[in-house]
Structure 1
Amino acid sequence: MSPNRRHMILGAAQWWPGGEHITAWRRPDAQPEAFLDLEYYVDWAKTAERGMFDTLFLADELYVWDRFDSGVEYSSNVRPEPFTLLGALAAVTERIGLAATVSTTYNEPYHTARRVASLDFLSKGRAGWNLVTSASDEEARNFGRDRNVDHATRYERGREFVDVVRGLWDSWDDDALVRDKASGRFADPAKLHTLDHRGKHFTVRGPLNIARPPQGHPVLFQAGASEAGRDLAAATADAVFTLTGPVDRLRDFYTDVKRRAAGYGRSPQDIKVLPMLIPVIGATEEEARAKADELYELTPETLALDLLSHYLEMDLTGRGLDEALDFTPDVDATNQSKSVYERVAHIAADRSVTLGEIYRHLFDERVRYGTPEQIADYMQESFESDAADGFLVMAAYLPAGLHEFVDLVVPLLQKRGLFRTQYQESTLRGHLGLERPDSSYSGGTDTAADGPVPTKNTLAETSPLPPQHRTYTSRGAS
């Protein structure tokens, strides 16, 4: 395809190490004994890079899902810390992006800025981070709280978190490190800037003790489909990850996020919308359906009920999947994922459906089964009708599911001119068609008696935070 033609974005994403279906680890070809082995993830990464994917994408959480015994007994709650893993994968890959989740509720901006910048250097500009605000009380209890921070505050904190991280990445000008052995000057103090952020949720002096990243600002993904999530993505994200669904529903989300981005003074092209895609591929549609049915049957009834209990924040203990659900939804009351709650509540609105039918509907809605041509058709329709800029491909089962997608679907996308046949760029920003941002201090400096101060601050001008929450000083004025 032409190097100047818009191409579909593909990320190889992973939540459960055995695949996106919670009990895919039970498949005969699954490798649960390898979920903590580097080589397992090396195969995953190299397969995705062989398929010319734009990025790897490791979803993460900071707790064991032990709200119910079945969460421990039947699902795989163990996985490597993602940035440690991506650091290792940087050494065995060459072009593919490397992105992982950061909870802005249970991390600090300085640690995050340094960690992601380090990965960006070690990978030569391939780092990305996925902002989540955390949705479970289990996570809160690992960080000194009895309950999770309320939904609105989590997103408010997340927005300030992004502002601080990007400000820290601008601590050093791109040419600040002189490294002049003859004079002995390692760096130019006039090109070091102290953030001195004082906000509602964070007080961070800075500067960051690593140079400005190769990408300037590593790519920010954001997962969230609620009103607050959409608004945060539109204001800050380079790419937004959303739930799967029919093309019409994806188009509604796509249009809404792009419209909101324009409201923040951003070009709609500067934010990429990437729905999840969970493919189950067969030589025929019947074969694909049979594979999906086999996958569904791997989930014990107890686990299915407990998953519904989790999504709806109600106790279904002792119930059966053949029972109907008497349920009155209250989206405003939930403090977990509002978008997932809304989807389950929409299905449960029909009081005649059973719990088993609700769970099966969720499974069928998430998993897209079909022939390689049918999967490619869906992707092409979504891409060409402005419903998606690409997809985060979350193989329903691993490792075989990603191999099947790369070997059977990617060649079809390439043949149709929708996807690259070779990498054109070397950075993740380059893959996504995103410009490297200027530093917030790049507008020039005025010299004052106590040192240079920035005359233009792009970060402050575009930040969604109130001005009183942001102050920026140069090194000389700190």
Structure 2
Amino acid sequence: MGETKRQLHLGAFIYGVGHHIAAWRYPLTDSLGLFTFEFYKQFAQTAERGKFDMIFIEDIPALPEQLETAIQYTVPVRAEPLTLLSTLASVTSHIGLAGTVSTTYSEPFHVARKFASLDHLSRGRAAWNAVTTSMEITSQNFGQDHHLDHAIRYERAQEFVEVVTSLWDSWEDGALRIDKATGLFADPDKVNAIRHQGKYFSVQGPLSIPRTPQGRPVLVQAGSSETGQDFAAKTAEVVFTAWQTLEEAQAFYSSLKGRLGKYGRKRDHLKVLPGVLPVIGSTEQEAREKEAYLQELVLPEVGLSMVSRTLRIDLSSYPLDRPVPDLPDATSINGGKSRYQLLVDMARRDKLTIRQLVARVTGARGHKTIHGTPEQIADHLESWFTNGGCDGFNIMPPYLPGGLEEFVDHVIPILQKRGLYRTEYSGTTLRDHLGLEIPGNKFQQERHKQQQAN
């Protein structure tokens, strides 16, 4: 038998009522859906119909610093991820459920317990996107005087993930007995206190929830800085990232995959999924006109505010049709280093004016925007995938519900016909979809080593 053909992995990224900043003004957008369960149910079931690996929900526990502009002209409100994913687990059966929770503004026991609960309730479909949180104003919502420095946030995050995974392993396989005849509910010899004493956390354990159907929920990470790549190489199983060119994507893919061996991991232990915003039309001209119309709906002050926030500079006093001013590299800032550098590199490489940079960013916030027919969209995805740029994509519909429906109805069948994408789910858990093994239980492994030593 021949070798099985490598296939794409796809996430469906829900962000408000669409990823384009003016999506809520677009005539085909369900702008009131943000506040209804039916809106999210339709999104999840459409993605499952398209055989997506997972749906993904981001989260920042704060409103933007430019509060007045954000509230007046954009959609800054978001549903809390774990609450929403728990409800969506009841109306789906296969698709993975990935949610964002900050390691800077949370506690490990809470996070371990919530995602373990979701993994049980969904029968093995949970994933945690562990982020350090880049928005500095967030600290003011959690009784802190200042946002932790970038290096400290990542150091804390590494210990945070270590504690969470230890808690997920604190119940060994076979710990649950539920023997009604003898009255034995669980084997205490297989339930372990983790007794963690670290720089940032002190956690006794064990977790109050047994080992989950996936062994552990899938770990997702989204940082692309040097520190973020090392963190991902050590801990992550999926990485969300943003790149504008295939060459950039290839360099990141090679760099990140090349770091895995340092931690005793293989290349297929981690999947890299860049974000892509597809604008789809029956012709290329129709797609261009759709994108242009969305751009016309962006108020100038909104686009400027968005780019100014990312670049940490007020651009409102600069002429829109002049080049972006000289900016320092990312080492000088304390949050969102990789996205900052992405915008700086984009402006320098393509010699963009401020107006042109705003137009690039308001659609996909630094991710790649592609427009064209379904065949052209599929060609682009195939090119990045087959030429070493990624293991798949995090699809960012520009508006909802139509943006996702168009992708599922018109692009997915082309990818399936080319043998690049599944026609049916072959398993029931998110690890099944991603081709990831169930991790070994650290306490069982330690017990086995002790037995061998004796």
Same fold (TM > 0.5):
yes
- What residue number does 1:241 align with? 240
**What are the residue-to-residue correspondences of 1:415-454 with 2, within 5 Å?**
415-443=417-445, 445=447
Matched, 1:455 2:454: no
**What are the residue-to-residue correspondences of 1:173-212 with 2, within 5 Å?**
173-212=172-211
> Any conservation in 2 of the 1:441–1:456 contact (CA below 8 Å)?
no
- What residue number does 2:255 align with? 256
> Any conservation in 1 of the 2:17–2:33 contact (CA below 8 Å)?
no
The counterpart of 2:400, out of the listed 398, 401, 418, is 398
> Any conservation in 2 of the 1:278–1:367 contact (CA below 8 Å)?
yes
**TM-score, structure 2 as length reference:** 0.95
Q: Kindly report structure 1 stretches of 4+ aligned residues shifted beyond 4 Å.
A: 350-353
Q: Deviations over 1:247-290 (max 9, x none)?
A: 22111111111001122210011000101111000111111111
Amino acid of the residue matched to residue 87 of structure 2?
A: A
Q: CA deviation at 1:340?
A: 1.4
> Any conservation in 2 of the 1:3–1:424 contact (CA below 8 Å)?
no
Q: CA deviation at 1:181?
A: 1.2
Q: Residues of 2 paired with 1:257 and 1:324: CA distance?
A: 32
- What residue number does 1:281 align with? 280
Q: Residues of 2 paired with 1:258 and 1:354: CA distance?
A: 35
Q: Residues of 1 paired with 2:443 and 2:136: CA distance?
A: 40
Q: Residues of 1 paired with 2:442 and 2:12: CA distance?
A: 32
Measured at CA, do residues 52 and 3 of structure 1 come closer, stay the same or move farther in structure 2, by a change above 3 Å?
Answer: farther
Q: CA deviation at 1:152?
A: 0.7
SS of 2:444 mapped into structure 1: coil
SS of 1:7 mapped into structure 2: coil
- Unpaired segments ≥5 residues, structure 2: none
- What residue number does 1:408 align with? 410
Q: Residues of 1 paired with 2:65 and 2:337: CA distance?
A: 21
Q: Deviations over 1:349-394 (max 9, x none)?
A: 4897532122124457631111111110111111111211111101
Q: Residues of 1 paired with 2:323 and 2:382: CA distance?
A: 38
- What residue number does 1:222 align with? 221
Q: CA deviation at 1:42?
A: 0.3
Q: CA deviation at 1:299?
A: 1.1
Q: CA deviation at 1:455?
A: 2.9
- What residue number does 2:63 align with? 64
Q: Residues of 2 paired with 1:216 and 1:5: CA distance?
A: 27
Q: CA deviation at 1:324?
A: 4.3
| Matched residues, number | 448
> Any conservation in 1 of the 2:136–2:147 contact (CA below 8 Å)?
yes
> Any conservation in 1 of the 2:9–2:434 contact (CA below 8 Å)?
yes
Q: Residues of 2 paired with 1:53 and 1:400: CA distance?
A: 16
- What residue number does 1:88 align with? 87
Q: CA deviation at 1:323?
A: 4.6
The counterpart of 1:375, out of the listed 365, 374, 377, is 377
- What residue number does 1:451 align with? none
Q: Residues of 2 paired with 1:55 and 1:134: CA distance?
A: 22
- What residue number does 2:6 align with? 6
> Any conservation in 2 of the 1:442–1:456 contact (CA below 8 Å)?
no
Q: Residues of 1 paired with 2:351 and 2:386: CA distance?
A: 38
Q: CA deviation at 1:318?
A: 4.5
> Any conservation in 2 of the 1:440–1:456 contact (CA below 8 Å)?
no
Measured at CA, do residues 203 and 373 of structure 1 come closer, stay the same or move farther in structure 2, by a change above 3 Å?
Answer: same
> Any conservation in 2 of the 1:327–1:348 contact (CA below 8 Å)?
no
4-13 vs 215-224, greater mean Cα deviation = 4-13
- What residue number does 2:290 align with? 291
Amino acid of the residue matched to residue 7 of structure 1?
A: Q
SS of 1:141 mapped into structure 2: helix
Measured at CA, do residues 97 and 347 of structure 1 come closer, stay the same or move farther in structure 2, by a change above 3 Å?
Answer: closer
Q: Deviations over 1:153-174 (max 9, x none)?
A: 1111111111110000011112
- What residue number does 2:269 align with? 270
- What residue number does 1:340 align with? 339
Q: Aligned residues: percent identity?
A: 46
SS of 1:277 mapped into structure 2: strand
Q: CA deviation at 1:346?
A: 2.2
Q: Residues of 1 paired with 2:246 and 2:303: CA distance?
A: 27
**TM-score, structure 1 as length reference:** 0.90
Q: CA deviation at 1:146?
A: 3.1
Measured at CA, do residues 76 and 107 of structure 1 come closer, stay the same or move farther in structure 2, by a change above 3 Å?
Answer: same
Q: CA deviation at 1:62?
A: 0.4
Measured at CA, do residues 75 and 363 of structure 1 come closer, stay the same or move farther in structure 2, by a change above 3 Å?
Answer: closer
- Unpaired segments ≥5 residues, structure 1: 447-453, 458-478
Q: Residues of 2 paired with 1:351 and 1:94: CA distance?
A: 44
Q: Residues of 1 paired with 2:104 and 2:434: CA distance?
A: 27
SS of 1:193 mapped into structure 2: coil
Amino acid of the residue matched to residue 304 of structure 1?
A: G
> Any conservation in 1 of the 2:124–2:217 contact (CA below 8 Å)?
yes
Q: Residues of 2 paired with 1:134 and 1:190: CA distance?
A: 38
- What residue number does 2:26 align with? 27
Q: Deviations over 1:51-75 (max 9, x none)?
A: 0111111111101114242111111
> Any conservation in 1 of the 2:303–2:362 contact (CA below 8 Å)?
no
Q: CA deviation at 1:456?
A: 8.4
> Any conservation in 2 of the 1:137–1:146 contact (CA below 8 Å)?
no
- What residue number does 1:385 align with? 387
Q: Residues of 2 paired with 1:348 and 1:25: CA distance?
A: 27
